[in-house]
Protein backbone atom coordinates (compact mmCIF):
# COMPACT_ATOMS: atom_id res chain seq x y z
CA UNK A 1 0.00 0.00 0.00
CA UNK A 2 1.40 3.42 -0.93
CA UNK A 3 1.98 6.09 1.71
CA UNK A 4 -0.82 8.26 0.22
CA UNK A 5 -3.38 5.43 0.30
CA UNK A 6 -2.29 4.50 3.83
CA UNK A 7 -2.83 8.05 5.13
CA UNK A 8 -6.20 8.22 3.36
CA UNK A 9 -7.31 4.94 5.00
CA UNK A 10 -6.34 6.24 8.47
CA UNK A 11 -8.29 9.47 7.96
CA UNK A 12 -11.41 7.58 6.82
CA UNK A 13 -11.20 5.24 9.84
CA UNK A 14 -10.85 8.16 12.27
CA UNK A 15 -13.78 9.97 10.68
CA UNK A 16 -16.01 6.92 10.97
CA UNK A 17 -15.00 6.54 14.62
CA UNK A 18 -15.91 10.14 15.36
CA UNK A 19 -19.29 9.76 13.65
CA UNK A 20 -20.10 6.64 15.69
CA UNK A 21 -19.02 8.34 18.92
CA UNK A 22 -21.19 11.36 18.17
CA UNK A 23 -24.12 9.11 17.31
CA UNK A 24 -23.76 7.18 20.58
CA UNK A 25 -23.47 10.39 22.57
CA UNK A 26 -26.61 11.79 20.88
CA UNK A 27 -28.48 8.57 21.70
CA UNK A 28 -27.44 8.80 25.35
CA UNK A 29 -28.64 12.39 25.53
CA UNK A 30 -31.93 11.47 23.89
CA UNK A 31 -32.51 8.66 26.38
CA UNK A 32 -31.81 11.03 29.24
CA UNK A 33 -34.36 13.50 27.89
CA UNK A 34 -36.97 10.82 27.31
CA UNK A 35 -36.65 9.51 30.86
CA UNK A 36 -35.73 6.31 32.62
CA UNK A 37 -35.98 2.84 31.05
CA UNK A 38 -39.39 1.21 31.06
CA UNK A 39 -40.18 -0.22 34.49
CA UNK A 40 -41.43 -3.77 34.82
CA UNK A 41 -44.74 -4.05 36.64
CA UNK A 42 -44.02 -5.72 39.99
CA UNK A 43 -45.64 -9.04 40.73
CA UNK A 44 -47.91 -8.49 43.72
CA UNK A 45 -49.21 -11.39 45.78
CA UNK A 46 -52.12 -10.01 47.78
CA UNK A 47 -52.36 -10.85 51.47
CA UNK A 48 -55.64 -12.53 52.43
CA UNK A 49 -55.17 -13.19 56.15
CA UNK A 50 -56.22 -11.45 59.33
CA UNK A 51 -54.66 -9.01 61.79
CA UNK A 52 -53.86 -8.76 65.50
CA UNK A 53 -52.54 -6.12 67.91
CA UNK A 54 -49.15 -5.78 69.56
CA UNK A 55 -49.33 -3.76 72.79
CA UNK A 56 -46.57 -1.20 73.34
CA UNK A 57 -47.72 1.30 75.98
CA UNK A 58 -46.07 0.91 79.42
CA UNK A 59 -44.09 -2.04 78.14
CA UNK A 60 -40.34 -1.37 78.34
CA UNK A 61 -39.45 -4.61 76.59
CA UNK A 62 -41.84 -4.11 73.66
CA UNK A 63 -39.23 -2.66 71.32
CA UNK A 64 -36.70 -5.42 72.06
CA UNK A 65 -39.38 -8.05 71.62
CA UNK A 66 -40.50 -6.46 68.35
CA UNK A 67 -36.99 -6.41 66.89
CA UNK A 68 -36.31 -9.97 68.03
CA UNK A 69 -39.56 -11.38 66.66
CA UNK A 70 -39.48 -9.77 63.20
CA UNK A 71 -36.81 -9.29 60.54
CA UNK A 72 -35.79 -5.79 59.43
CA UNK A 73 -37.97 -6.06 56.32
CA UNK A 74 -40.95 -7.28 58.36
CA UNK A 75 -40.48 -4.44 60.84
CA UNK A 76 -40.59 -1.93 58.01
CA UNK A 77 -43.82 -3.41 56.66
CA UNK A 78 -45.49 -3.39 60.09
CA UNK A 79 -44.52 0.22 60.79
CA UNK A 80 -45.70 1.26 57.33
CA UNK A 81 -49.09 -0.38 57.92
CA UNK A 82 -49.33 1.71 61.11
CA UNK A 83 -48.23 4.92 59.34
CA UNK A 84 -45.28 5.42 61.69
CA UNK A 85 -41.48 5.41 61.57
CA UNK A 86 -39.09 3.95 64.15
CA UNK A 87 -38.76 7.29 65.93
CA UNK A 88 -42.45 7.10 66.84
CA UNK A 89 -42.49 3.46 67.95
CA UNK A 90 -42.87 4.32 71.64
CA UNK A 91 -45.41 7.06 70.98
CA UNK A 92 -48.25 4.71 70.05
CA UNK A 93 -50.26 2.46 72.36
CA UNK A 94 -50.28 -0.56 70.07
CA UNK A 95 -49.47 -1.76 66.57
CA UNK A 96 -51.61 -3.48 63.98
CA UNK A 97 -49.78 -6.61 62.83
CA UNK A 98 -50.76 -9.11 60.11
CA UNK A 99 -51.09 -12.72 61.22
CA UNK A 100 -48.52 -13.49 58.54
CA UNK A 101 -45.99 -10.72 57.93
CA UNK A 102 -44.86 -10.57 54.31
CA UNK A 103 -41.73 -8.67 53.32
CA UNK A 104 -43.33 -6.81 50.42
CA UNK A 105 -45.53 -3.90 51.50
CA UNK A 106 -47.36 -4.15 48.18
CA UNK A 107 -48.93 -7.41 49.39
CA UNK A 108 -51.08 -5.32 51.74
CA UNK A 109 -52.15 -2.69 49.27
CA UNK A 110 -55.56 -1.12 49.89
CA UNK A 111 -55.51 0.20 46.31
CA UNK A 112 -56.66 -1.83 43.28
CA UNK A 113 -53.92 -3.57 41.31
CA UNK A 114 -55.33 -2.36 38.00
CA UNK A 115 -57.46 0.59 36.92
CA UNK A 116 -58.50 0.01 33.32
CA UNK A 117 -59.50 3.60 32.58
CA UNK A 118 -56.01 4.76 33.62
CA UNK A 119 -54.34 2.72 30.88
CA UNK A 120 -53.68 5.76 28.60
CA UNK A 121 -52.06 7.68 31.49
CA UNK A 122 -48.31 7.10 31.66
CA UNK A 123 -47.93 7.97 35.34
CA UNK A 124 -50.40 8.93 38.08
CA UNK A 125 -50.21 9.41 41.85
CA UNK A 126 -53.10 9.27 44.32
CA UNK A 127 -53.12 10.35 47.96
CA UNK A 128 -56.07 9.08 50.00
CA UNK A 129 -56.97 11.26 52.98
CA UNK A 130 -59.27 8.64 54.63
CA UNK A 131 -56.57 5.96 54.87
CA UNK A 132 -53.46 8.20 54.84
CA UNK A 133 -51.75 6.46 51.96
CA UNK A 134 -50.45 7.03 48.42
CA UNK A 135 -50.44 4.89 45.31
CA UNK A 136 -48.40 5.21 42.10
CA UNK A 137 -49.72 3.85 38.80
CA UNK A 138 -48.19 3.34 35.36
CA UNK A 139 -50.72 2.88 32.55
CA UNK A 140 -53.31 1.67 35.03
CA UNK A 141 -51.02 -0.80 36.83
CA UNK A 142 -50.17 -0.32 40.51
CA UNK A 143 -46.42 0.11 40.90
CA UNK A 144 -46.12 1.08 44.56
CA UNK A 145 -48.13 2.19 47.57
CA UNK A 146 -47.15 3.40 51.01
CA UNK A 147 -48.19 5.35 54.11
CA UNK A 148 -48.51 9.10 54.43
CA UNK A 149 -49.10 11.71 57.10
CA UNK A 150 -51.14 14.41 55.42
CA UNK A 151 -52.40 17.81 56.54
CA UNK A 152 -53.59 18.21 60.11
CA UNK A 153 -57.06 19.42 61.03
CA UNK A 154 -55.69 22.95 61.37
CA UNK A 155 -53.64 22.80 58.16
CA UNK A 156 -55.47 20.44 55.78
CA UNK A 157 -53.96 19.37 52.49
CA UNK A 158 -55.82 20.79 49.52
CA UNK A 159 -57.68 18.10 47.61
CA UNK A 160 -58.13 17.79 43.85
CA UNK A 161 -55.81 17.62 40.85
CA UNK A 162 -52.32 19.07 40.72
CA UNK A 163 -49.05 18.29 38.94
CA UNK A 164 -45.54 17.75 40.20
CA UNK A 165 -43.25 20.66 39.40
CA UNK A 166 -39.79 21.28 40.96
CA UNK A 167 -37.87 19.04 43.33
CA UNK A 168 -34.91 19.24 45.72
CA UNK A 169 -33.06 16.57 47.69
CA UNK A 170 -33.10 18.97 50.65
CA UNK A 171 -35.36 21.97 51.05
CA UNK A 172 -35.94 24.30 53.99
CA UNK A 173 -39.65 24.75 54.60
CA UNK A 174 -41.14 28.16 53.86
CA UNK A 175 -43.47 27.69 56.85
CA UNK A 176 -40.66 27.16 59.38
CA UNK A 177 -36.95 27.46 58.59
CA UNK A 178 -36.18 24.76 61.18
CA UNK A 179 -37.96 22.14 59.07
CA UNK A 180 -35.56 20.42 56.70
CA UNK A 181 -37.54 18.54 54.06
CA UNK A 182 -35.66 15.70 52.38
CA UNK A 183 -36.55 14.32 48.94
CA UNK A 184 -39.01 17.15 48.49
CA UNK A 185 -41.19 17.20 45.37
CA UNK A 186 -43.48 20.21 45.10
CA UNK A 187 -47.00 19.71 43.73
CA UNK A 188 -48.49 23.17 44.33
CA UNK A 189 -45.85 25.78 43.65
CA UNK A 190 -47.66 28.91 44.85
CA UNK A 191 -48.84 27.29 48.09
CA UNK A 192 -45.53 25.56 48.75
CA UNK A 193 -47.15 22.12 49.10
CA UNK A 194 -45.38 18.90 48.21
CA UNK A 195 -44.46 15.43 49.37
CA UNK A 196 -41.26 14.74 51.27
CA UNK A 197 -39.69 12.66 54.02
CA UNK A 198 -40.55 13.78 57.55
CA UNK A 199 -41.58 12.28 60.87
CA UNK A 200 -44.49 9.86 60.64
CA UNK A 201 -46.52 9.81 63.91
CA UNK A 202 -49.41 7.60 62.80
CA UNK A 203 -51.99 10.30 62.02
CA UNK A 204 -52.31 13.38 59.74
CA UNK A 205 -49.95 15.90 61.36
CA UNK A 206 -48.34 17.92 58.57
CA UNK A 207 -48.54 21.61 57.74
CA UNK A 208 -50.52 20.90 54.52
CA UNK A 209 -47.79 18.79 52.94
CA UNK A 210 -47.71 15.03 52.34
CA UNK A 211 -45.22 13.33 54.63
CA UNK A 212 -43.65 10.03 53.60
CA UNK A 213 -41.24 7.43 54.90
CA UNK A 214 -37.76 8.07 53.54
CA UNK A 215 -37.64 5.11 51.15
CA UNK A 216 -41.01 6.10 49.64
CA UNK A 217 -40.05 9.76 49.37
CA UNK A 218 -36.80 8.88 47.60
CA UNK A 219 -38.56 6.44 45.26
CA UNK A 220 -41.20 9.01 44.25
CA UNK A 221 -38.48 11.65 43.93
CA UNK A 222 -36.75 9.52 41.27
CA UNK A 223 -39.93 8.23 39.63
CA UNK A 224 -42.13 11.31 39.11
CA UNK A 225 -41.43 13.93 36.42
CA UNK A 226 -40.55 17.58 36.92
CA UNK A 227 -42.28 20.32 34.99
CA UNK A 228 -40.59 22.06 32.06
CA UNK A 229 -40.28 25.83 32.43
CA UNK A 230 -38.60 28.71 30.65
CA UNK A 231 -36.39 31.23 32.40
CA UNK A 232 -39.34 33.48 33.14
CA UNK A 233 -41.09 30.56 34.89
CA UNK A 234 -43.51 30.14 32.02
CA UNK A 235 -44.68 26.51 32.20
CA UNK A 236 -44.09 24.66 28.93
CA UNK A 237 -45.13 21.26 30.27
CA UNK A 238 -46.53 19.93 33.53
CA UNK A 239 -45.06 17.08 35.52
CA UNK A 240 -46.80 13.95 36.84
CA UNK A 241 -50.52 14.28 37.69
CA UNK A 242 -51.43 13.95 41.38
CA UNK A 243 -54.87 13.65 42.93
CA UNK A 244 -55.49 14.13 46.65
CA UNK A 245 -58.96 12.98 47.62
CA UNK A 246 -61.34 12.30 50.49
CA UNK A 247 -61.41 13.50 54.10
CA UNK A 248 -60.12 12.22 57.43
CA UNK A 249 -62.11 11.63 60.61
CA UNK A 250 -59.83 13.39 63.09
CA UNK A 251 -62.06 12.44 66.04
CA UNK A 252 -62.43 8.76 65.14
CA UNK A 253 -60.19 5.72 65.61
CA UNK A 254 -57.29 5.13 63.26
CA UNK A 255 -58.91 3.60 60.16
CA UNK A 256 -56.31 0.83 59.70
CA UNK A 257 -57.33 -0.70 63.05
CA UNK A 258 -60.67 -1.52 61.45
CA UNK A 259 -58.76 -4.30 59.69
CA UNK A 260 -58.97 -6.25 62.96
CA UNK A 261 -62.68 -6.82 62.32
CA UNK A 262 -62.66 -6.61 58.52
CA UNK A 263 -59.42 -7.29 56.56
CA UNK A 264 -60.84 -5.27 53.65
CA UNK A 265 -62.04 -2.29 55.69
CA UNK A 266 -59.57 0.18 54.14
CA UNK A 267 -59.78 -1.09 50.56
CA UNK A 268 -60.31 1.46 47.81
CA UNK A 269 -62.14 0.10 44.78
CA UNK A 270 -61.35 0.71 41.14
CA UNK A 271 -64.70 2.49 40.81
CA UNK A 272 -63.77 4.89 43.62
CA UNK A 273 -60.53 5.89 41.91
CA UNK A 274 -62.29 6.31 38.57
CA UNK A 275 -64.77 8.65 40.25
CA UNK A 276 -61.86 10.80 41.46
CA UNK A 277 -59.85 11.09 38.25
CA UNK A 278 -62.49 10.78 35.51
CA UNK A 279 -63.53 14.49 35.67
CA UNK A 280 -59.85 15.40 35.14
CA UNK A 281 -58.90 12.74 32.59
CA UNK A 282 -59.19 15.00 29.52
CA UNK A 283 -56.84 17.58 30.99
CA UNK A 284 -54.43 14.92 32.24
CA UNK A 285 -54.15 13.46 28.74
CA UNK A 286 -53.81 16.91 27.17
CA UNK A 287 -50.95 17.80 29.52
CA UNK A 288 -49.33 14.42 28.89
CA UNK A 289 -49.40 14.96 25.12
CA UNK A 290 -48.09 18.51 25.49
CA UNK A 291 -45.18 17.18 27.55
CA UNK A 292 -44.30 14.59 24.92
CA UNK A 293 -44.27 17.28 22.24
CA UNK A 294 -42.07 19.59 24.31
CA UNK A 295 -39.60 16.81 25.12
CA UNK A 296 -39.50 15.70 21.48
CA UNK A 297 -38.82 19.27 20.37
CA UNK A 298 -35.99 19.58 22.86
CA UNK A 299 -34.41 16.34 21.65
CA UNK A 300 -34.62 17.46 18.04
CA UNK A 301 -32.84 20.72 18.90
CA UNK A 302 -29.82 18.99 20.40
Q: Half-sphere exposure of residue 188, counting CA atoms within 13 Å on the CB side?
A: 15
Helix (H) or strand (E) holding 284: helix 281-300
Q: Nearest Cα to 95, choosing from 147, 156, 157?
A: 147
The conformational region for residue 83 under phi > 0 = left, psi -120 to 50 = alpha, else beta, is: left
Q: Which residues are catalytic?
A: 196, 209
Residues in the chain: 302
Full DSSP string of 85-140: -GGGGGGSSEEEEESS--S-GGGG-SS-SB-GGGTT-S-EEEEETTTTEEEEEETT
CA gap 245, 118 in Å, rounded? 16
The bridge status of strand 167-172 relative to strand 180-188 is antiparallel
Q: Give me the torsion for CA of 47, 52, 58, 59, rounded to 10°.
A: -70
Give backbone dihedrals phi and psi of 161, rounded to 5 degrees, phi first: -90, 140
Amino acid sequence: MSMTKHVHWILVTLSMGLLIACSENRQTNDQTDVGKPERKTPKINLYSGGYKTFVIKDNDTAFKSFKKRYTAQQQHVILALNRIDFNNFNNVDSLLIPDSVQTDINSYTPFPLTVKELKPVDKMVFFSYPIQAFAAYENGQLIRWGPSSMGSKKYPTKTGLSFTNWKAEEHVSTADDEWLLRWNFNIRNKEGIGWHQYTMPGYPASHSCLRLLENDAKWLYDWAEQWVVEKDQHVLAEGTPVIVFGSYDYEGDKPWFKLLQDPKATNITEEQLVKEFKPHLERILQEQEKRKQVMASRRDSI
